[in-house]
Structure 1
Amino acid sequence: MIIVAGWLAVAPESRDAYLDDCREAVRLAREAPGCLEYSLGADLLDPGRITVYERWESDEDLERFRGSGPSDEQAVQIVDASVARYRISAVEAP
């Protein structure tokens, strides 16, 4: 299993519009083969921060969906980011 998690920073006044522009990508990701979870959300404390969380069955599923990443319009709005890919070898109940 692959987890992609982290955060994006955008101008606080642009965050809601940025997330709204991501709706179709979220819908498509959730319908993609191998997608177990795909979520982008507004941080409750930082008005310019977007939380990223994805779970995929495999690297191949992730890469097949990801393609070239965010559109140029979205990429230019990102002022900072910290997102990483994690390879999970076991999953257990909490």
Structure 2
Amino acid sequence: MAQPKNRETPTQIVYSTYYRVHPDDRQKFVDAVVPHLEYTAALPGCVFYVFAADLLDPNVIHLSEGWEDQAALDRHNTSEPFLKALREVTENVRILDRQGQKYTIASQGAGDPPGGTEAFNLDRDD
């Protein structure tokens, strides 16, 4: 049985990308990527795969993805759900700007804020 994935799962590759889409095409972008999100997140070797709307600009969408290794990323990049979403976006959505970075991780550790997670009152009952 596979171990459940979490943010402590060893991650060798991380992508951080943002897309600025034409306001009239935002929903087309969302409709193209949502169907493959759960599929991709469940792929062997995918640690996380998350699209999120920018809090300040509704036409900016951020993608964060983490992969255990290059082989897992390659499987994703050649999967039919990914290729379908990519085709739908490139054919139907006006991308006004896109910037992405690939990070190869040499070491990994907790990313707690200064003072630890106690500052977030995670044990509150309210």
TM-score, with length taken from structure 1: 0.87
Higher strand content, 1 or 2: 1
Residues 19 and 40 in structure 1, CA contact (< 8 A), matched pair in contact too:
no
Quote the residue 2:103 is aligned against: 86
Quote the residue 1:18 is aligned against: 29
Quote the residue 1:28 is aligned against: 39
Q: Higher RCO, 1 or 2 (CA under 8 Å, sep at least 6)? A: 1
Q: Which runs of 5+ in 2 are unaligned?
A: 1-11, 112-126
Shift, 1:71, TM fit: 2.8
Residues 13 and 69 in structure 2, CA contact (< 8 A), matched pair in contact too:
yes
Look up the SS of the partner of 2:65 in the other structure: strand
**Cα root mean square deviation, aligned:** 1.7
1:1-94 mapped onto 2 (5 Å cutoff): 1-67=12-78, 69=83, 70-76=85-91, 77=93, 78-94=95-111
For residues 6-40 of structure 1, the C-alpha deviation after alignment (integer angstroms, 9 at most, x for no partner) is: 20111123223422331121111111110000001
Count residues with an aligned counterpart. 94
CA distance in 1 between counterparts of 2:86 and 2:102 reads: 20
Shift, 1:54, TM fit: 0.2
Which one has the largest radius of gyration? 2
Q: Which is worse superposed, 67-76 or 54-63?
A: 67-76
Residues 13 and 48 in structure 1, CA contact (< 8 A), matched pair in contact too:
no
Residues 32 and 88 in structure 2, CA contact (< 8 A), matched pair in contact too:
no
